[in-house]
């Protein structure tokens, strides 16, 4: 029984942390949306600066995509290096497979960066 409770507790706590972060993030966005709706109903003009001051995020910039790309590829490479130091026979292959996900996501973000980046020259 104890052998199943520990992994269950770990996965439930991870899911609970993700749910809590998601819930409070959406609650904050809802409050901003209510504030904007009240201002519009009152007939106030909302400039882009006002909306930005309320915390509404704009669309991701290409440089943010490049930053995400570098971080994800570095994370994947770190997992690949970590996998080589595990003395088990199957673990390096499994962790290397898991490391492919952030690497592929990083490559995807880099492609989005290259497609969205307009050279000022």
> Residue 105: which pLDDT band, with cuts at 50, 70 and 90?
very high
Q: Virtual CA dihedral for 50, 51, 55, 59, nearest 10 degrees?
A: -130
pLDDT over 60 at 101, yes or no:
yes
Contact 89, 81 (CB under 8 A): no
What predicted TM-score, i.e. pTM, was given to this entire model?
A: 0.57
From CA 60, how far away is CA 15, in angstroms rounded? 26
Give the whole-angstrom CA distance, residue 86 versus residue 93.
10
pLDDT digits (tens, 9 = 90+) for 49-79: 777 777 766 667 778 888 999 999 999 999 9
* 93-101 mean pLDDT: 90
Alpha helices by DSSP H, listed for the chain, are: 2-41, 48-53, 62-84, 91-116
């Amino acid at each position: 029984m104890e052998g199943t409770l520990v992994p269950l507790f770990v996965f439930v706590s991870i899911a609970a942390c993700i749910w809590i972060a998601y819930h409070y993030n959406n609650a904050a966005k809802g409050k901003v949306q209510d504030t904007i709706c009240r201002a519009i109903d009152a007939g106030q003009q909302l400039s882009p600066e006002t909306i930005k001051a309320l915390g509404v995020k704009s669309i991701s910039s290409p440089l943010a995509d490049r930053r995400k790309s570098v971080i994800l590829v570095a994370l994947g490479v770190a997992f690949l290096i970590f996998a080589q130091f595990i003395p088990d026979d199957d673990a390096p292959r499994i962790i290397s497979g898991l490391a492919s996900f952030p690497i592929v996501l990083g490559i995807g973000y880099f492609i989005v960066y290259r497609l969205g980046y307009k050279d000022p020259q």
